[in-house]
Structure 1
Amino acid sequence: MEKKTRNEHRGENKAVWILKSLLCAYIVTGILLLLLTLLLYKVNLDEGKVTGGITAIYVISTFAGGFFAGKLAKVRKFIWGLTTGVLYFALLLLITLGIYHTIQGGGMGVLTTFLLCAGGGMLGGMVS
């Protein structure tokens, strides 16, 4: 059995960092979506406030994931945060395509969501 080189271990660590940061981001997303649902039920929010809440959830979740990735990486934190935000968006897009078989909101909405996710993750990485 061959021993793994130091670089292979480092590569595995990076993959684990990203997976952990994505898990963190999606846990935050789940908690915040539950809170938004509770607010929707109790306060009867209109569509504009729900849309704003969902947008805020994207930014807060990717910020948390980017922050976590930056804490784990300790170097080039903003890149790891950006990577987390981009992968968060990619997974979100795949889930949307899997459920609806189309992209909701048009191209400009998708671009805006991408920039919010990427920016939130990068900001989280920079702050860490």
Structure 2
Amino acid sequence: MERRFRRDSKALWVLKALLVSYIVTGVLLLVLAMLLYKFELDEKTVSAGIVAIYVASTLIGGLVLGKMAKVRRFLWGLGLGIAYFALLLLITLGVYHTLEGNGINVMTAFVLCAGGGMTGGMIS
């Protein structure tokens, strides 16, 4: 038996919203790289830009998912933020085979991603 996704499957909603979030992340990271090249930004500015990109990406993904879900949007947005962080963590572990920094940095990134997604879901 072949199991097919329905057109409005909840798993597809999440995958679409995650894809949107990662596309936004890619575009914003390219813009940040161009700004770094053009203006020779310092490390603190780049770090702040990366954090802003995490929040903006999950916020937009939460907006997209909230529009599709229509009910309990903040929970869907929170779930998207957590999924975004988990995928980000898996990519980091896959590339570097370790976590750089301390646990506080990881928890801060988690809270920012989850909060951004939840905020996006709430305002959708």
Q: Check whether TM > 0.5.
A: yes
Larger Rg: 1
Please give the secondary structure, in 1, of the residue aligned with 2:98: coil
Runs of 4+ in 1 over 6 A off after TM superposition: 1-4
> Cα distance 1:2–1:118, how it changes in 2: closer, same or farther (>3 A)?
closer
Give the length in aligned residue pairs.
Answer: 124
| Structure 2 equivalent of residue 33 of structure 1 | 29
The unaligned stretches of length 5 or more in structure 1 are none
- Corresponding letter in the other structure for 1:115: V
Task: Write the deviation string for residues 7-31 of structure 1: whole angstroms up to 9, x where unpaired.
Answer: x849x71000000000000000000
Structure-2 separation of matches of 1:116 and 1:126 = 15
Tell me the percent identity: 63
Once the two structures are superposed, what CA deviation does each residue of 1:17-47 show, in whole Å capped at 9, x if it has no partner? 0000000000000000000000000000000
Aligned equivalent of 1:49, options 41, 45, 48? 45
Q: Does 1:111 align with 2:102?
A: no
Q: TM-score, normalised by structure 1?
A: 0.91
In angstroms, what is the RMSD of aligned CA positions?
Answer: 2.0
2:20 maps to: 24
Which residue of 49, 54, 60 maps to 2:56? 60
1:13 aligns with 2:9: yes
Pairing partner for 2:121 from 111, 117, 125: 125
Post-superposition offset of 1:54: 0.1
Q: 2:97 aligns with which of 98, 101, 107?
A: 101
TM-score (norm 2): 0.94
The structure carrying a bigger helix percent of its residues is 1
Distance 1:40 1:118 in 2: 27
